[in-house]
Amino acid sequence: MAYIGSLDQGTSSTRFIVFDDSGKIVGQHQLEHTQILPQAGWVEHDAAEIWQRTQDVISGALKAARINGSDLAAIGITNQRETTVIWDKSTGAPLANAIVWQDTRTAEYLNSLSDQTKSTVTFKTGLAIAPYFSGSKMNWFLNHVPAVKTAVQEGRALVGTVDSWLVWNLSGGARGGVHVTDVTNASRTLLMNLETLDWDEELLNIFGVPRNLLPDIKSSSEIYAKTDPSGPLGSAIPIAGILGDQQSAMVGQACFDRGESKTTYGTGNFALLNTGTEIVRSKNGLLTTVCFKFGNQPTHYALEGSVAVTGSAIQWLRDQLQIINTAPEIEPLAKSVSDNGGVYFVPAFSGLFAPYWRNDARGVVVGLTRAATKAHLARAALEAICYQTRDVLDAMSADSGVKLPEMRVDGGITANELCMQMQADIMGVDVIRPLIIETTALGAAYAAGLAVGVFKDTTELRNKWQEGMRWKANSGSTLASDGYRLWKKAIERTLNWLD
Ligand code: ADP
């Protein structure tokens, strides 16, 4: 029996899960960290706190699994994407708080770039010009933090995404830590060329980031370094897999081939479609990104679509309208009526993302009559999750020419059976949740296990994927026909709201 550790460093918490070679969880530990909100639109994390939590969850999970660090064949890392850390390689201390993906402080700077520059960046990276991505965050550190300027002049600064910070620390930190990242994380920086898979001189110039601050870009599955025996694992274990969280879920869902996709339902939704070795450029507002690259094998790319508000709309019903006390209560409430009673809810709280990209949109509830109840609104909220997901998946099909044969799903909302049945009916394809729902952590464990030979190849991993639950599409559901038509009408009502 081989064990593999997966470090899942997320936006709100850090987890370490010990998997056995059948993919079963044998122990885990999870800790939250502080969300630092210095001013409107700014979101920061203390990278030192994240490193401390990392050490604590590793110790906690090993204890829970009743094994030692030396029992692990390898560890893999998956992480919140785009969040950017800058640190001093001589002391190991962060030079500033990490700037989190949600932080919008660099929006104005990005707006000031010329149209020509913007299209160069978009073409080379497959991304949108948005403050989410790491490039403008690095630019901000370099131009606004005096301690960073000094450290750069003195050759002491290193910058990277959270995976890089953690590998550097795990492999010894100031005593010789290794500075690397993987292609999936690098593909979220606005600095990596999608075709060459290397930092791009022109992009580095645009964002003013010196190449020597950046990590080396590696594949998602290879031995990058060994852990420092004086660290939390207590022995030298290969660090052998790195994947951004959404890409890791693709691997955990065994979406290894062109045309395979997964949708993760959480605070927001993230859908990725594997487009094989082809870089597909979106005409419908989706992102193009690296899906994974295992060792020397060909790179797989993906189209990615995100929906800003899905689970957070359920939180809004709970916290603001207080029509439910807990998120799961939405299901019995929505089930207490047989349909939405003509009520449509578009939670465009901060505009609409893909495929609409309308900042001027705001949320609406339409179709209200005297008969409408909170149960109809609850139902409309669940339908909104599914309709928004269909909008994004339809855009993916239009861009790629791939008609989805089925949907693989994961994330918190997939516990909601009614919602998943609606999704199947609205998409007209079966919705399938795997037996192991910790797909994000599993993906990084798979990548690490491949690199050290615990797993032979992706065929072996594909065979491990097991269906846990299937919601069969009811053909001819009115949700897919009239329902979707009315949804599109409701979308129109959200537009042009902001003057
Ligand atoms: P994240 O990883 O983004 O924090 P999770 O995968 O933990 O998200 O999912 C949490 C989200 O799912 C929350 O927004 C919550 O409101 C929603 N949620 C959790 N359980 C249910 C449920 N049974 N029905 C609908 N929404 C749910």
Query: pLDDT digits over 185-194, tens only?
Result: 999 999 999 9
Pocket flag, ligand 1, residue 55 (CB < 6 Å): no
**Cβ contacts of residue 97 below 8 Å, gap of 6+?**
36, 44, 45, 46, 47
Return the axis-axis angle of helices 374-400 and 311-319, rounded to nearest 10°: 160
Give nearest CA residue, ligand 1 atom 22. 328
Q: Whose CA is nearest to atom 6 of ligand 1?
A: 412
Q: How many whole angstroms from 262 Cα to the centroid of ligand 1? A: 17
**Ligand 1 in contact with 312 (CB < 6 A)?**
yes
Q: Indicate the pLDDT class of residue 1, thresholds 50, 70 and 90.
A: confident
Strand ranges of the sheet holding 467-471, from the earlier edge strand across to the other edge: 287-292, 300-307, 269-274, 261-265, 407-410, 431-434, 467-471
pLDDT computed for residue 414 by the predictor:
96
Measure the CA–CA gap between 398 and 392, rounded to whole angstroms.
10
Q: Does the pLDDT at position 485 exceed 90?
A: yes
> Using a 6 Å cutoff on CB, does residue 259 contact ligand 1?
no
Instruction: Give me the residue label for tokens 């109809």.
Output: 376
Cβ of 411 less than 6 Å from ligand 1: yes
**Ligand 1: which atom is nearest the Cα of residue 410?**
6
Read off the pLDDT of residues 77-125 as tens digits, 9 standing for 90 and up. Answer: 999 999 999 999 999 999 999 999 988 899 899 999 999 999 999 999 9
Scanning 306-366, the segments in alpha helix (DSSP H) are: 311-319, 330-335
What was the pLDDT predicted at 186? 98
pLDDT, position 98:
98
- CA 11 to ligand 1: nearest atom: 4
Rounded distance from Cα 312 to ligand 1 centre (Å): 8
In short, whether 397's Cβ falls inside 6 Å of ligand 1 is: no
| Nearest atom in ligand 1 to 382's CA | 25
DSSP string, 243-289: EEHHHHHHHHTT--STT-EEEEESSSEEEEEE-TTS-PPPSSS-EEE
CA proximity to 10, closest of 157, 162, 136:
162
Instruction: Indicate the pLDDT class of residue 223, thresholds 50, 70 and 90.
Output: very high
Q: Looking at ligand 1, which atom is closest to the CA of residue 318?
A: 16
Give the pLDDT confidence score for residue 308 in this predicted structure: 83
Tell me if residue 168 falls in helix, strand or coil: helix
Task: For residue 206, give the nearest of 110, 299, 130 by alpha carbon.
Answer: 110
**pTM of this structure:** 0.92
The whole-number pLDDT of residue 358 equals 83
Ligand 1 pocket member 311 (CB < 6 A): yes
Q: Looking at ligand 1, which residue's alpha carbon is closest to its atom 14?
A: 311
Beta strands in 124-260 (DSSP E): 157-161, 180-182, 216-218, 221-226, 238-244
User: Which pLDDT value is given to residue 387?
Assistant: 98
What is the phi-psi region of residue 126: left when phi exceeds 0, alpha when psi lies from -120 to 50, beta otherwise?
Answer: left
Q: Please determine, for residue 355, whether its predicted confidence score (pLDDT) is greater than 90.
A: no
Q: Is the CB of 416 under 6 A from ligand 1?
A: yes
The pLDDT of residue 416 is 97
Distance (Å, whole) CA 394 – CA 263: 13
Please indicate whether residue 412, judged by its CB atom, sits closer than 6 Å to ligand 1: yes
In the chain, % helix, strand, coil (3-state, to 5) comes to 40, 25, 40
Q: How far is the CA of 113 from the centre of ligand 1 (A)?
A: 37
| 102 close to ligand 1 (CB < 6 Angstrom) | no
Distance CA 158, CA 417 (A): 46
pLDDT in tens, 7-58: 999 988 999 999 999 999 999 999 999 989 899 889 999 999 999 999 999 9
Closest residue CA from atom 18 of ligand 1: 413
Q: Which of 32-36, 183-187, 198-202, 351-355 is the least confident region?
A: 351-355
416-469 pLDDT, tens per residue?
A: 999 999 999 999 999 999 998 899 999 999 999 999 999 999 999 999 999 999
Name which residue sits closest to atom 7 of ligand 1, judged by CA. 412
- The first and second tokens of residue 489, run together, are 């009408």
Token look-up 């487009």 returns 275
* Ligand 1 within 6 A of CB of 13: no
User: What is the rounded distance in angstroms from the CA atom of residue 185 to the CA atom of residue 163?
Assistant: 8
Cis peptide before 328 (omega within 30 of 0): no
Instruction: Classify 267 in phi/psi space as left (phi over 0), alpha (psi -120 to 50) or beta.
Output: alpha
CA distances from 473 to 259, 408, 417, 420, 440 (A): 19, 13, 13, 10, 26
Decide: helix, strand or coil at residue 344.
strand
Across 127-138, average pLDDT: 94
Higher pLDDT, 149 or 285: 149
- Say if ligand 1 is within 6 A of residue 111 CB: no
> Given the CA of residue 331, which atom of ligand 1 is nearest to it?
24
Span from the CA of 329 to the centroid of ligand 1 (angstroms): 12
* C-beta 347 within 6 A of ligand 1: no
Q: How high is the pLDDT of residue 40?
A: 85
Distance in Å, CA 316 to ligand 1 centroid: 12
368: number of Cβ within 10 Å: 13
Q: Which residue has the tokens 């997939």?
A: 414
Handedness of CA 140, 145, 146, 149 (dihedral sign): negative
pLDDT over 90 (residue 359): no
Strand partners, 31: 14
Q: Is the CB of 437 under 6 A from ligand 1?
A: no
For residues 251 and 192, give the distance between their C-alpha atoms in angstroms, rounded to a whole number: 22
CA of 226 to the centre of ligand 1 (A): 35
The two structure tokens encoding residue 318? 């709970």
Model pLDDT for residues 247-275, shown as the tens digit of each residue? 999 999 999 999 999 999 988 899 999 99
CB distance 267 to ligand 1 below 6 Å: yes
Whether pLDDT at 65 is above 90: yes
Q: Measured between alpha carbons, how far is 464 from 252 in angstroms, rounded to an integer? A: 10
State whether the beta carbon of 330 lies less than 6 angstroms from ligand 1: yes
Tell me which of 279 and 103 has the higher pLDDT: 279
User: Which atom of ligand 1 has the smallest separation from the CA of 311?
Assistant: 14
Q: Express each pLDDT in 296-340 by its tens digit.
A: 999 999 999 988 889 999 999 999 999 999 999 999 999 999 999
The CA 385 to ligand 1 mean position distance, Å, reads 11
pLDDT averaged over the chain? Answer: 95
Distances in Å between the alpha carbon of 444 and those of 47, 132, 294, 440, 459? Answer: 21, 23, 11, 7, 16
- What is the reported pLDDT for 225? 98
**Mutate-to-test residue for ligand 1 from 262, 413, 414, 421, highest number of ligand atoms within 8 A of CB:** 413
**With 90 as the cut, is the pLDDT of residue 406 above it?**
yes
Instruction: Quote the CA–CA distance of 435 and 273 in Å, as a whole number.
Output: 21
Structure tokens at 465: 């994927």
